[in-house]
Amino acid sequence: MNPLLQVRNLTKHFPSRYGSRNLTAVKAVSLTVNAGETVGIVGESGCGKSTLGKSIIRLFEPDEGTVLFQDKDVLSLEKRALREMRREIQMIFQDPYGSLDSRMTIGAIVEEPLVIHGIGDRATRYKKMLRLLEITGLEQDAANRYPHEFSGGQRQRICIARALALRPKMIIADEPVSALDVSIQSQILNLLVDLKEKFDLSYIFISHDLAVVEHVSDHVAVMYLGGIVETAPTKDLFTRPCHPYTEALIKAIPQPDPLRTRERIVLQGEIPDPENPPSGCAFHPRCPKVMDICKTATPEEKNIGVNETGHLIRCHLY
């Protein structure tokens, strides 16, 4: 069976404010999401995770590459066809405060996707809306209230209800919990996991928090400066991180057990300026295992996996 979503060599430039040099936010990213699977994307702030997510559903127009969703080429879709496609892929945004229109009632917000796509009459839409509120754990009287009356966690529930309204096959969750308190984070994560079972969803789960990604993902892709450096099944990645960057990230996850000592790899320096990326491997200025070849040649993608699920890596060490 073909994968639900296939992204190949997706590249997105932004014009630079000064000079003619472009900022390459996403650099030749390839990604595969199978039906019913959750793919986590991790990386530091500014590495292009959100741009990747938004480019896939063409909130930003990508410059190069292909996106195949159910074997349809998303990037060549006409406006009308694109609107149809958006029924199938929904998005949850990072900021539950900014992504809800403060002048609409919750009922209107959750119903909006149905109105846009002309689904059902007023009464059925109303019933569907109430059902969506119930599914996402909101009170029914929320329908007549406004977003500012809700807490961050409840608002993210509203966003989830809105994303579910069209019964999409896939949801791109762009840092859905990073704006929330830790205690609320797990509630929202569990809700997302439950909904995945219930509605046969696939997720692209974007986060900078490795622990969160480990909890929800089947596959994880690690991004650095616009490119994916390592992709592997979650278990594989966390037990056998191969790329020095992944290794450093995983070692940096706080351990709850104070007796267990562990070696930490502290990365030196900042993430480089994406307008002026380093030559060769983008990670080489900060890499603890840097070699001469890293400074000149860009590493190719290699499969070092033991089985066909694959463990893809871009590093000269392998």
Partner 1 sequence: MVYLNQTAYSKKRTYHFLPKILFGYPSCVTTALVYFSSTQKKMNETWKRFKRDKVALFGGTVIVIVVTAALLAPWVTPYDPHEQFFDGLTLEGAPLPPNKRFPLGTDLLGRDLYTRLVYGARTSLIIGIAANAAAVLVGTLLGIIAGYLGGWVGNAIMRFTDLMMAFPALLLAIALASILTPSLWIVAMVIALVNWVQTARVIYTQTLSIAEQEFIQAARALGATPIRILWVHILPHLIPHIMVWATLGISVTVLFEATLSFLGIGVQPPTPSWGGIIFESQSYFLTAPWLVIFPGISILLFALGFNLVGDGLRDAMDPTQRGRN
Residues making contact with partner 1 (CB under 8 A):
54, 57, 59, 82-84, 86-87, 90-91, 93-95, 98-105, 107-108, 111-113, 115-117, 122-123, 126, 130, 139-141, 143-144, 146, 148, 159, 162, 166
Choose between 102 and 307: whose C-beta lies nearer to partner 1: 102
- Find, among 193, 204, 33, 174, the residue nearest to 92 by Cα: 174
Choose between 95 and 275: whose C-beta lies nearer to partner 1: 95
- How far apart are alpha carbons 195 and 13 in whole angstroms? 34
Choose between 139 and 194: whose C-beta lies nearer to partner 1: 139
CB atoms closer than 10 angstroms to residue 297: 12
Choose between 145 and 289: whose C-beta lies nearer to partner 1: 145
The answer to whether 80 and 140 have CB atoms below 8 angstroms apart is no
Choose between 123 and 182: whose C-beta lies nearer to partner 1: 123
The answer to whether 253 and 267 have CB atoms below 8 angstroms apart is no
Per-residue HEC secondary structure of the chain comes to: CCCCEEEEEEEEEEECCCCCCEEEEEEEEEEEECCCCEEEEECCCCCCHHHHHHHHCCCCCCCEEEEEECCEEHHHCCHHHHHHHHHHEEEECCCCCCCCCCCCCHHHHHHHHHHHCCCCCHHHHHHHHHHHHHHCCCCHHHHHCCHHHCCHHHHHHHHHHHHHCCCCCEEEEECCCCCCCHHHHHHHHHHHHHHHHHHCCEEEEEECCHHHHHHHCCEEEEEECCEEEEEEEHHHHHHCCCCHHHHHHHHCCCCCCCCCCCCCCCCCCCCCCCCCCCCCCCCHHHCCCCCCHHHCCCCCCEECCCCCCCCEECCCCC
The answer to whether 10 and 24 have CB atoms below 8 angstroms apart is no
Choose between 147 and 227: whose C-beta lies nearer to partner 1: 147
Q: How far is the CB of 299 from partner 1 (least distance, A)?
A: 34
Q: How far is the CB of 83 from partner 1 (least distance, A)?
A: 4
Choose between 158 and 192: whose C-beta lies nearer to partner 1: 158
Choose between 23 and 104: whose C-beta lies nearer to partner 1: 104
Q: How far is the CB of 311 from partner 1 (least distance, A)?
A: 32
Choose between 123 and 266: whose C-beta lies nearer to partner 1: 123
